[in-house]
């Protein structure tokens, strides 16, 4: 199991970076849609594109927390493996 620690560490770091990227661009795009700066519209509420911005913010916040949780579980698994190996 110790031979997979490098993969777990690397994948945890990659998932954390991806989570922060999703959060950054999600907040940027959501705020742009709320302020009406964005020329594109998702079309969920065609008569109120600003409401789409709140949906984008909510979905990207959920995606950030989900990905960050997965990375934290991988970090916890690394700690457990290291503690088992010490004994």
Provide the residue ranges of all domains of the chain, joining segments of one domain with +.
2-86
pLDDT at 29 over 60: yes
Please give the pLDDT value at position 13. Answer: 94
8 Å CB contact between 8 and 77: yes
Please give the pLDDT value at position 87. Answer: 65
| Prediction pTM value | 0.79
Mean per-residue pLDDT of the chain: 86
pLDDT at 5 over 90: no
């Amino acid at each position: 199991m110790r031979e997979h620690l490098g993969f777990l560490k690397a994948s945890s770091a990659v998932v954390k970076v991806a989570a922060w990227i999703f959060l950054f661009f999600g907040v940027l795009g959501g705020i742009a849609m709320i302020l009406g700066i964005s020329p594109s519209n998702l079309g969920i509420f065609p008569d109120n594109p600003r409401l789409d911005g709140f949906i984008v913010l909510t979905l990207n916040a959920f995606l950030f927390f989900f990905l960050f949780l997965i990375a934290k579980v991988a970090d916890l698994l690394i700690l457990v493996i290291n503690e088992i190996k010490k004994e």
